[in-house]
Chains A and B, each alone.
Chain A
Amino acid sequence: MNTVSTRSVFFLLLTICAVIGFITAGCKPQKQAAPPESITIAYSTATSDILSHIAFANNFYLAEGLEAIPQPHDFGKLALQSVLNGKANIATVADTPIMFAVMEGRPVAIIARIQSSEKNEAIVARKDRGIVKPRDLKGKKIGVTRGTTSDFFLYAFLLDQNIERKQVKVVHLTPAQMPAALKAGKVDAVSTWNPTLFQLQKEWNAKASLFYGEHLYAESFCIVATQEYVKKNPEAIKKLLRALIKAEKFAREYPEDSRRLVADFIKADKASLDELWEIFDFRITLTQGLLLSLEDQTRWAIRHGLTARRDMPNYLDYIYFDGLKAVKPEAVRIIH
């Protein structure tokens, strides 16, 4: 074999290696530089919406080609109202406001559940008002945020304690009003979520009783839009989901950085996030549990006359599967 043929062999081998490397590495087409799509995201500043906060803080939305305009709200119900009022495209909200919206006939489309917890809701009660054990709540004034998870949690808790709703006096308060109301004695207890819950716990410490109901209710925090929006903007929904999936991965891999980023983003105490972090499950999914939870809450709403509608809606009609199916099909666990 002469020198030329030897070179040819080496060249051939080099080419084969290059082809193998190319195939192994994959040859993803380069993303076309298109102008970012504008999208307004109404989000809750509560700790139930951490993935959304991370996505904003890390510019994951922009990286996916979305010019995400943040629209902060104190809690998810307000964010949902903003969407339903046409002031935002996407809302991050818990399951109870979604259920009420559906029962009111609003065209809601649930895109995914982004966070869940069984310990994000609790009742904080003043011991000096004689509330030491759950049964002591009978006859007391309890503050709740109407039409939210705190409302449903109180119902589930009282039911579990065999206390009828009429045996307590429900006072409707926003989370922001609760600390003052509790301190002023306007209410004897409040049913609420974090970070208000954490704040009250620190403030009252041993002077207050804290009642959790881990097996009574699992809060599901979701991202929703109107059905019209998801129908018209399927690509934007995919980008949104990709950004949130990035945030999910970031939260799992860099929890400390995530807490710091979220604390800075929502102007919260990082120590509270450090303490609360473990009670949250950060996963982008669509589970059958969400469906059942919505139906459970619907039955509650119907039974207690909280909505005008008296029949059970088919929540499958209010879930937008295509987005999550496209970007993370294994996360779609709802039977459909």
Chain B
Amino acid sequence: MTKLERRKTRYEIRRLPDASLDTRYGEKGMKINKRLKLSAWFSLTSLLFILFSLAWALWTARQANDNLLLVHEIERTAFERIILRDNWLFYPEERAKTQWYAKTEYLRTLLDSATDRFTASAAKALLQDAKENFAATASLFPMILESHKQNALTAQKKLAYTEAQARIISQVFLKAYSLNDNISKLHELARKEELAARNKGVALVIIFIIIGVTAMVVNSTLISDIVTKRIKELLAGIAIIGVGNLEHRLSIKGNDELADLAQEINEMTQKLKQSYTSVKNLEKEITEREKIEKKIIKLSARQQALLSAIPDIIMEVDNNKIYTWVNEPGKQFFGNDVIGKEAAFFFEGKQDTYAKVAAVFEGAEDTIYVESWQRRQDGEKRLLSWWCRALKDEKGNVIGALSTARDITEQKIAQEEIRKLNEELEQRVAQRTAELMTKTAELERINKVFVERELRMRELKKRIEELEKISEAHISDKDK
């Protein structure tokens, strides 16, 4: 993705609704300075962990080294004790005996110390064996020493070698001591070198850690300084734009987030400038809208007046058949509290009105006619003829129905009466016809009577037509 594409993507993201924007900035909108401080704290915490770990490692190493030294000391003491024993066996001098006893006690102390220091079970078992062996030697050799004391051998008697041989043996002892000394020194040297190398390594690690952390802190500080400086520059630029200088542009340095921010501010300024240019158009548009709104209000009032002036009932229900609007004739019929009540509340008797108008609520475009007996506010049962049509929102979803109704109770009664009269008339006609038929035969026989009767029929028919006209006129008057 190129930089331009990325920028476009960002631009698209910024076109999201405000809530989306808030969420986006909520997740990633951490202040740079705060982030840097967080970084510094993180570095310090890491440093503390490193130092703690290092201290622990050093402490462990020191413990191990002390143990090693103790073992070396035991080794050396044991070896020296052997040499002292040999020394005494050849030359039973009091000095060698004293030294041997001293070494014995020292070795006992060292072994006790080692028992306290070493914790591993294997080491403890080894030390236990060593102490047992030590106890044996510490009790056996003094027996020889005491035996020699009792015999009180002279120096001459005890010499089993010639003087020359004894001198050579003396030199051998001297060399043995020297050799032991060399080995001990070698041990110490190796240990010192190992310790020095380890210390050097640790020192290097510490130096590196210090340098690293120092670099991190310095880096963070410098970055913070630079960022602060640039933010100040941005703020100064924004302040210039803020006072209305939409010609001002922020200088874009580098390729980081602040540069992007400066770029965005410049783009925003450009758009602001464009918006500012179209303010007058906008004002005109607002004026026109206000005019339109006034017209709408006027039309709405007229519509209300018209709807109120129409003698027919006009009702509006939602999808639940609850009345949501009604005109004045409707209020007069159902009462002022009709709003909020279900249509079925006013039904009189069992009826299938809902089933008949179901198509309306399913989105049918046709106007559905239905007649329904309903209870007027005075409690009188009235027959209303309904013309129902679906009400839809801008998306075409059914949101309810608009219906007009007319009270056709009297008309219905008149019609019923006419129907009954017609039936009556037809019966009478049939009867008369039958009579006429009977009498025709009779008239055939009586020509004179026939003519009279014919005339009379014509009069009757005329009379009926007049009655019908009167009835229709009456109904028409009522409707008006």
Q: Which residue numbers of A lie inside 8 Å of B, CB to CB?
A: 1-3, 6, 9-10, 13, 16-17, 20, 156, 159-160, 162, 215-216, 218, 287-289, 292-293, 295-296, 299, 303, 312, 314-316, 330, 333, 335-336
Contacts and interface: CB of A to CB of B under 8 A. Distances in A.
Contacts of A159: 163-164, 167
B164 A292 contact: no
B417 interface: no
Contacts of A1: 33, 36, 221, 224-225, 228
B335 to A, nearest CB: 76
Given A13-B217, A289-B174, A295-B91, A314 B98 contact: yes
14 contacts: A1-B221, A13-B217, A16-B214, A20-B210, A156-B167, A160-B164, A160-B168, A162-B164, A218-B174, A288-B174, A295-B93, A316-B98, A335-B102, A336-B102
B105 interface: no
B42 to A, nearest CB: 16
A6 B221 contact: yes
Contacts of A10: 218, 221
Contacts of A162: 164
A316 B224 contact: no
Contacts of B218: 9-10, 13
B360 interface: no
A289 B93 contact: no
Given A13-B214, A20-B210, A287 B177 contact: yes
A287 B164 contact: no
B103 interface: yes
Interface in B136-181: 163-164, 166-168, 170-171, 173-174, 177-178, 180-181
Interface of B: 33, 36, 80, 84, 91, 93-95, 98-99, 102-103, 163-164, 166-168, 170-171, 173-174, 177-178, 180-181, 184, 188, 210, 214, 217-218, 221, 224-225, 228
Given A287-B181, A312-B93, 16 more contacts: A1-B33, A1-B36, A1-B225, A1-B228, A2-B228, A156-B167, A160-B168, A215-B171, A287-B178, A288-B178, A292-B173, A292-B174, A295-B170, A299-B166, A314-B94, A314-B95
Nearest to A300: B167
Contacts of B171: 215-216, 296
A312 B154 CA distance: 13
B220 to A, nearest CB: 9
Contact of A293 (B33, B174, B228): B174
Nearest to A316: B95
Given A1-B33, A314-B95, A314-B98, A289 B167 contact: no
B105 to A, nearest CB: 13
Nearest to A331: B185
A159 B95 CA distance: 26
Contact of A315 (B33, B95, B102, B188): B95
A6 B227 CA distance: 13
A2 B225 CA distance: 7
A288 B181 contact: yes
B258 to A, nearest CB: 16
Contacts of B99: 316, 335-336
Contacts of A218: 174
A6 B94 contact: no
Where chain A touches its partner, the secondary structure class is helix
Contact of B84 (A6, A295, A333, A335): A335
A156 B163 CA distance: 10
A295 B95 CA distance: 10
Contacts of B178: 287-289
A173 B184 CA distance: 42
A288 B177 contact: yes
Nearest to B96: A295
A287 B91 CA distance: 19
A17 B166 CA distance: 65
A289 B177 contact: yes
A96 to B, nearest CB: 15
Nearest to A303: B163
A36 to B, nearest CB: 34
A8 to B, nearest CB: 10
A303 B99 CA distance: 24
A326 B94 CA distance: 28
A296 B170 contact: yes
Contacts of B214: 13, 16-17
Contact of A9 (B80, B174, B221): B221
A312 B94 contact: yes
A159 B217 CA distance: 79
A218 B225 CA distance: 74
A307 to B, nearest CB: 15
A330 B188 contact: yes
A123 to B, nearest CB: 17
A256 B167 CA distance: 37
Contacts of B94: 312, 314
B191 to A, nearest CB: 12
Nearest to A7: B221
A333 B177 CA distance: 10
Nearest to B87: A292
A316 B98 CA distance: 10
A314 B80 CA distance: 18
A14 to B, nearest CB: 10
Contacts of B98: 314, 316
Given A292-B173, A312-B93, A333 B221 contact: no
A244 to B, nearest CB: 19
Nearest to B98: A314
Contacts of B224: 1, 6
Nearest to B180: A288
Contact of A292 (B33, B177, B228): B177
Contacts of A160: 164, 167-168
A144 B102 CA distance: 40
A333 B185 CA distance: 9
A335 B174 contact: no
Contacts of B80: 335
A333 to B, nearest CB: 5
A3 B166 CA distance: 86
A3 B84 CA distance: 74
B144 to A, nearest CB: 19
Which of A1, A299, A330 is the most central at the interface, judged by chain B CB atoms within 10 Å of its CB? Answer: A1
B224 to A, nearest CB: 4
B71 to A, nearest CB: 18
A139 B94 CA distance: 39
A314 B99 CA distance: 11
Nearest to A155: B167
B245 to A, nearest CB: 28
Contacts of A16: 210, 214
Contacts of B217: 9, 13
A130 B221 CA distance: 93
Contacts of A215: 171
